Amino acid sequence: MASQISWSFKHFDAKTVDEAVKHLIDSEGKASLIAGGTDLLNVLKDRILPHPPEAVINLKTIPGLDTIRNDPHGLNIGALVRLRDLASSARIRDSYPVFWKAATSVASPQIRNMATIGGNLCQDVRCWYYRTPRLIRGAVVCKRKGGTKCYALGGDNRYHSIFGGAQGCHAVCLSDLAIALICLGAQAETSKRTVPLEDFILPGVGTALDSDEVLIGVHIPPPETGSKGAYVKFTTRKATDFAIVSVAALLMFEKKKCKEAKIVLGGVAPGPWRAESAEDILKEETVDASTAEAAGKMVIAGAKPLKENKYKIPLVQALVKQAILACL
């Protein structure tokens, strides 16, 4: 049995970003990057991918990518910064409470000791059909792996998207950090470019990274005067589970009126879901329980729940209301 699942791959300790990029180019798209390894190691051990990587490139050996730095234009966070460092940062807690709350909500202290911000943003989806270990059912070649069908459509879809599929895949985005960072207007910085984080995560695909591109950090602009934010999420069993639904909200107030609002949802769509219809309800309004409830109801406009995940509709409404009221 062991001979059926064993394979060999090359391992490289990259000393610079340029060296990591060179290894990616040399591997011709057949390499994986590793940082904390809390996601990739499970992927490799369970052999969920149709074609395992021929090379694994270690990024932890690149100096300078594990720092948090202030500059006149906001906050720069290296891709190798561990989640424990985000959770323990007074700067993030005081200036970006939405992001801090999201970071402290991820997994367990043991996972946060290893996991990085880059890994959290680039993690693969957690759909149980996509993640089925090869030794249990063989190779499950779903739509996301190049197959012809999304098995969740006719199967157990209780945790899948209520806002339709993307590229034929109904798995949801579960990155707590992505939801909060998009709410804050953050940008992803790569070895090639700087891109708004909402354009970095591609629904149904993964990330916008090219096969020869490395995420090197995230930039968050300074907090706006009068802004207040909140992050809430619901899990089934314990606080360390992946979110069934998560909500990041950021409201900008001026003389008690909401001048601007951003609301981003996780766990409900193939990518982070911007609730623009709910945002419009709040603009130029004095926010109270009534307007928060109205925004919650507006969020689910256009939702297309599957057979077993209709319960997410009232859950989304309640969490959006909760997040808005937490901003007051």
pLDDT in tens, 303-323: 999 999 999 999 999 999 999
Question: Quick one: pLDDT at residue 71?
Answer: 87
pLDDT of residue 69: 96
Low-confidence ranges of the chain (pLDDT < 70): 1-6, 239-240
Given this model, what pLDDT does residue 255 score?
A: 87
Q: Which domains does the chain have, with CATH numbers?
A: 68-121+183-220 (3.30.465.10), 227-326 (3.30.390.50)
pLDDT tens digits, 158-168:
999 999 999 99
Considering only CA atoms, which of 286, 283, 282 is closest in space to residue 297? 282
Q: What is the dihedral of CA 96, 101, 107, 112, to 10 degrees?
A: 40
Axis-axis angle for helices 97-105, 176-183 (nearest 10): 180
- Residue 200 to residue 187: CA distance in whole angstroms: 8
Distance between CA atoms of 266 and 281, rounded to whole angstroms?
20
Bridge partners of 227, per DSSP, are: 252
> What is the rounded distance in angstroms from the CA atom of residue 160 to the CA atom of residue 141?
18
* pLDDT reported for residue 278: 95
Name residue, tokens 């339709």. 164
Q: What is the token pair recorded at 327? A: 């901003």
What does pTM read for this prediction? 0.94
pLDDT of residue 50: 82
To 10 degrees, what angle do helices 289-299 and 312-326 make? 140
Residue 296 in tokens:
């919650």
How remote is the C-alpha of 5 from its chain's centroid?
A: 30
Report the C-alpha gap between 323 and 301 in whole angstroms.
Answer: 18
| Dihedral of the alpha carbons of 276, 277, 282, 287, in degrees to the nearest 10 | -110
Contacts of 137 (CB under 8 A, 6+ apart): none
Three-state DSSP class for residue 281: helix
Looking at residue 169, its pLDDT comes to 97
Measured distance CA(328)–CA(208) in Å, rounded: 35
